Structure formats: C-alpha cells, structure tokens
Amino acid sequence: MDERVFLNSLLEATNTQQVETALAAYLASNAASAKFQPVGRRPNNRGAIEVASDAARSMIERVTNMLDALLELEHEKHGGTPSCQSPREASSAWLNVPEKEGLSALSNKQRQDLAAKAIVRLEPGEGSQSRLVTVIDRGIGIEPDRLEGTILSLNESNKIQKHYLAGTYGQGGSSTFAFCKYAVIVSRRSGSDRVGFTLVKYEDLPAEEFKTGRYVFLVMDDAPLEVAATEEDIEHGTIVRHFGYDLTGYTSALGSKSVYGILGRIMFDPVSAIRFENQVHNWNRTIKGARNALNGAVDDGDDSSKGPSLDHHVSMFNINLGDYGSIGIEYWVLARPEPVKGKKRTKPAENFVDATKPVVLTHNGQNQGEITGRIIKDAKDGADLPFLQTQGRMICHLNCDRLSPNAKRLLFSSTREQSREGYMLDRIRSELVGALKADDELVRLNEEAREQSLKEKDEDAQKNMRRQVAKLLRIAGAALHEAGGTKDQKDGDKEIKDKPSPVKPLPIEAKDPPTFLRIVWDDEKEMPFYAGQRRYIRIETDANSDYHDPDDLNASRMNFAVGDDLCVFGTSPLKGGRMRLGAECLESVVVGSAGSIRVELYRKGLPALSDEREYCITDPPEPKERSHSSTFPDFEVIAVSGPDDDDWEYVCENPDDVDVTRHASNFVMNEGKLYVYYSEAFPRFLTEVRRFEQQNDALASSFRSRYEMWLAVHSLLMYQEIESETGLELPEVAAEEMRRQERSRLAVIAAMVASQEVKSGISDVDEDDASAA
C-alpha cells in the first residue's frame, strides 16, 4: 500500500477498526521504512500530553488552533498590516468582526460564511465512548517538513511572539491524543503542492522494562508522510480526525451534557464563528459563543428566533486595576421562563453557562475559568442577590484581555481549564461584587424574585412563631434582634414593618441635544471617602448612549474630573439615561482634605452641561468587634411541596437532584432576613404529618407549626455558625455537602421533637422542655 492509498483510507474511515486495518496493511508494505517515533521526540511524553481532565474541554484546544490558522492566513494575505496586538484586533481588521460587539453584530449569512472555514464534525463511531471527532480548518496549513515543529511539537515557541494569535504554551492541541485511540493529522500549506500527514497513537512499552508507555506518531524514513496534492485534497488548511474519542460524559444532543453545549460555553466569545456538524443527531449549527447568543445573535436551528428574553443587561465596561491593567465587566439577567404544565421550570442560564458557575472569565474569547454563584448569592462576601442566582437568571462575563502580562500569569494556568486562586482572582472578585452591588436595578429584580418565591402566610401565625423562636433562642443564651426591631423589643409585641420593595426607575427619554446632567447623591452632605476606598457614583442624563464611550474616554463627549485625592478607575456604558462613574481614593491622602467631583457633557454648538458634588476624606471605618452575644436576623419559613414545586431550587440548588430523602431544608440570607425553605416531601416530616392528619387536622396543623419553629431555630443557629467560621476552609463542594447532611439530621430531630410536643399536648414553649431539646 502506497502513501496515497493509505491517506485516502484514513480520510474515508469511520471507525477504529478501519483505521487499524489500513495501518496494518501500510506497515506490512513498508516494514523497512515505516516506524513510530515519540511525539515531540520525547521518550517520556505522557506528562506533557495528559494535562487535561475533560475530553470536551481538551477538544477546545483544537478549535483554538483552527482559529489561529485562519488568522495566520489572513496575516499573510494582508502582509501583517495593520499590526494587531491581539486575536480580537486581528479578527476585526482581517475578518471584519466588530471588536466590541463581536459576532453578534454580524448577519446570519456573515457568520455562516466564517463558520465554513472552521468545522467541528461529530460522527457516530462505535458509540459515545468511541466517537469520531474531526476538526477541519481552511487556514494557512503546514508544510510536511514543519509538522514536527508545529502540530506535533510539545512546548515549542512557535506563537510566543505572535500577539495576533491565541496560542501561547506550545501544546499544539496534543492533549486530545489522551482521549482517543488514533489521531490522523493531514495538512497542506497555502500555495503548496504537497500534503503532509501522520497518525498518532498510544504505545504500550514492556512493563518489565518501563513504568509507562508513550504517545507516538508514524514516520517514513524518520519524517512525517507526504504525497503530491490532487484536486480532491484540501486546498489549504489542516484536518485532524480523532478515532475512538471518549465522549462518555457528553451524550446529549443539546445542553450542558452535549458537545454543542460545551463548545458554546467554553468558546464564550470566539473571534470567528465555527460550524458544528452533528452527524450523530443529524443537524448542523453555527457556534458563535454564549456571549453573542446572549446579545441577540440567532442562527438557523437555534431554539429562539429572537434571542433570549432579558430583564436587564449592562454592556461591557472596563475597570482600571492600576499596574495590573484593566478588567472588562458585563452581565445579563435572564427573564424567568413561564411554568409549563407537567414540566419542571428550568434555570435559563443553563442554556448558556454552567448555572452553578455563572461567572465566566475569558481571554481571547475562550472561557479560562468560572466562579461559583456564591459570589452573586452571598450576603457576607458576595453581591447579596440570592434569589436571582437560585433561579438561575444571572450570567456575568469578566473579559481579561486587557490585563497586564503579569496579571495573566498570576491568574491563568496553561491548561485553560480553571483560573488560579490567589490575589489576582480575589481582586477581580472584589471588583465584580462592587459593580453588582452598585446596580439598583439588580437589587430591585432580586426583590421581585424574592416576592415570586414567597407564599402567603397567616400574619398571626408568623408573629407567634417569632415569639416562640425568640424564647427558644434566649433560653439558649442568645440575644435576639427580633424581626425588624431592636434589642429592647421583646417577644414580637411591636409591629414588624417590611422594607418597601425597590421601585423600577422611570425611563429617561433621550433628547438630542440633551437638556440635563446630574450626579445622583441623595445626601446633602459631602461624599465621604477614605484611603483606598472605591465608590460607584450614579449619573443621569437625557443624552443618547452614543454620547459616552466607556472604552475610549477620548472619544466620549463626557468628561469626568475629580480632585487630587481621587482617581477615576472606570465608567459603565450610558444606557437608558443612566450610568456609573467609578472613583477611587488614593492611599496617600490626608484626613480632612476635600475636593469635588465634576461631570461635563459637551453639546455641539451649545454650552456644556455639568454637575458637581463635593467630597471629603474621612478616617477608615473602625472594624466591627465581634459581639460576645449572638444577634439573629428576621426570618421567614416557606414550605416547598417537593421536586415539582417551582421553589424546589431553593431547597436544592441542583434542580436535577430530585432525591427527597437527601434534602430536608435550606436557607437564603438577603438584606438581613433569613428565608428558610423546607421540603414537605422529606420522609420523616411526611410520615409524621400524615399520621396526625389521620387523627384530625388540628393535630396536623400543630405539628407543622412546631416543625417549622424548630427548623427556624436550627437554621438561625446554623447560619450564625457559618458566619463565624474561621480557620482552614473546606472546598466549597465538600462544605456544602456537610451542611446538607447536617440540615437533614436536624430536620429529623425537629420532626421527633415536634411530634412528641403534639402528643404531650404542649400548647407553648416550656423552658425546661426547650432546654432539653
């Protein structure tokens, strides 16, 4: 068998058996010259290749190489002009993809034309554990004698000085070798009449001599194989066919457990479109990335013809991090889908990201790490938006393209699978929390989501429960801030007034030329700043959004001037007449000094509009001393019927986990109030309440009230314990599992105690019984 017949056999093969048959025939015909050499010419290369833990994420490296090949071809066509310092700039200059808006600004046809140059094809193979995955780019291609130094290399420096390409670490997509039985690589350089190819596999070595095997590639006379190009060959570009690719974890056609879903999620904002050909489920789609889908880009085959329904969206704005460069922040709040009879309400974020990790960090458009939803949910260390997060409606994007090289080194790992913990990630988390907390519309939407989750409850019963819980906690030696009251308030005798819900701000009608500009500061006093403090200042105007460009203040028709004690670290886009100015107080300031913050808006042929507010430098706030007595927040207890209830997501954050034996209750803190959700399907509760119902409704009602009371006590104590946790922290998943187990154990105890109280005919909390419990 000659090289041409062998190459055609490899390109026509649809499963590993056909590859093995062709390989055996070729080796038999060329026994003297055909051999296998270790990839990278390293006898021990497993450590360099087996760096990825996820088969689908590993595939993304091939996709990144595809897009780099397209840009390399365009660089050659344009003679390197203009000089581009990032893949995003190169895509804008040479592929006409707008730098800011990305692929969402293109038409369906324009995205399809780009996608035809970069194809991922999924074929059945022998099943989900042994798929055929083919990656095809019509980029610059590789000469046969350059295959070893590029796509077959390990940790080479081919792209390290090419700022217009994404590749950095010299892996060449080699991590995919670890997930397949055979990889066939075929490439033709643009303008060349030769096609180079080879086959990569894992080679076991004699166990008595070697500890481990190695990855090898096929050579003829110690070089990759090559043939003369024909009309049937690819005109230019590279084909990589992975036979026996293990996609056991990605068996679905769509969603988070599908190849299509992971491509859209990890290629969050690609510099060019990708065509996904799913021959397992017989459909094709254009992959433009989750960000572009969120921004309204719709292609053939997408579930919606109008894009996602959004309740709120803040476009990208950049935050200055000093010597570390800047970070771009944007976020979306998806509308909650209407319930469908007979179906569980889904979390809308799941269509775009991992809903449990809805904060995505990207570099060159690729997902390089995700932050859990706790940063959105937590009242203590997060943005205190628990209801938006639990409903799966928030997605945040952190664009790291403009970070300094040192910041990127501190933040990213070479595997691109997760960001590094440390100062840089903590700094970025802090900036995101600050931006989210400063958005009044998020507070209003979270309050609205909270109201959606609550059920009407009898006010007298609520007050009685608060009195009983307060008494139990005082018996345990705790000092209680009773609901909405003060330390002097006893047993809920005073009326509890709910905090009014935030009102959606009225829209500001845009006018050209604009007529007003104002800094929103309710207090008549000076704005206080202390050393190192960052504050977001709200600004309102009836100017159109194009009056302000947050990415280029020099191109903006708005000017921001601050006193010598402050500096501007960022501005948000002007949207609907509202924006935010980020001002930071310098570290070397004198307490008592003062100055002003001035905003100006220039109008063509008219006087500029302006507004100004005074500021003063104050002492930093004293750290709060931990009180020796415990202070407990207001609370509310909400029953959830079971997994089919829309509020099940508050009992169990994973809506797919419907095991009622595992989940008894959970709680959410928001704006100083603890919301306790409990499952009526929890076996111990269900057994007891049904037993009392068989006797009479009054006993069942009494048991339910007492069960809720004890759950409230346990939840308040548990919340206080979590708040005061110090020392070595467990990984988040392990810590949450321990708390789930503890909540279930305490629910069993609550059911036992409540049942015994009902049987004993106790009408109120007795101090001796409570102490014993």
Tens of pLDDT, residue by residue over 124-151, are 999 989 999 999 999 999 999 999 989 9
Residues 60 and 175 sit within 8 Å (Cβ to Cβ): no
Report CA 320 to chain centroid distance, whole Å.
22
pLDDT per residue over 19-51, tens digit each? 999 999 999 998 888 999 999 999 888 888 988
- Give the separation between CA 718 and CA 725, rounded to whole angstroms: 11
Buried b (16+ CB within 10 A) or exposed e, 294-316: bbebbbeeeeeeeebeebbbbbb
Res 646: pLDDT:
78
Res 457: pLDDT:
52
Res 493: pLDDT:
42
Which tokens is 214 given?
Answer: 């190695």
pTM: 0.82
The DSSP 8-state label assigned to residue 610 in this structure reads: E
- pLDDT surpassing 70 at residue 219: yes
- Give the separation between CA 163 and CA 726, rounded to whole angstroms: 44
Residues 376 and 436 sit within 8 Å (Cβ to Cβ): yes
Res 624: pLDDT:
60
495 pLDDT band (50/70/90 cuts)? very low
Which tokens is 424 given?
Answer: 């840089």
Res 416: pLDDT:
59
Res 504: pLDDT:
74
Interhelix angle 16-29/3-12, nearest 10 degrees: 170
- Give the separation between CA 184 and CA 198, rounded to whole angstroms: 6
Locus of tokens 């894009």: 307
pLDDT per residue over 401-457, tens digit each? 999 999 998 988 766 567 788 899 999 999 999 999 988 899 999 988 888 776 545
157 pLDDT band (50/70/90 cuts)? low
- Give the separation between CA 561 and CA 613, rounded to whole angstroms: 11
The number of residues in the chain equals: 773
Strand order in the sheet with 534-541: 366-371, 359-363, 394-399, 326-334, 310-320, 566-571, 578-585, 534-541, 517-520
Q: Which helix (H) or strand (E) holds 199?
A: strand 194-203
767 pLDDT band (50/70/90 cuts)? very low
pLDDT per residue over 288-305, tens digit each? 999 999 999 888 777 666
CB count within 10 Å of CB 533 equals: 17
Res 481: pLDDT:
44
Enumerate the β-bridge partners of residue 368.
none
* CB neighbour list of residue 497: distance below 8 Å, 6 or more residues apart: 484
- pLDDT surpassing 50 at residue 356: yes
Quickly list DSSP for 225-265. EEEE--TTS-SSEEEEEEEEE--TT---SSSTTSHHHHHHH
The per-residue pLDDT of the chain, averaged, comes to 85
Pick the closest to residue 328 from 36, 100, 89, 164 (CA basis). 100
Quickly list DSSP for 654-685. -TT---TTT--EEEEEETTEEEEEEETT-HHH
Res 181: pLDDT:
96
Res 102: pLDDT:
92
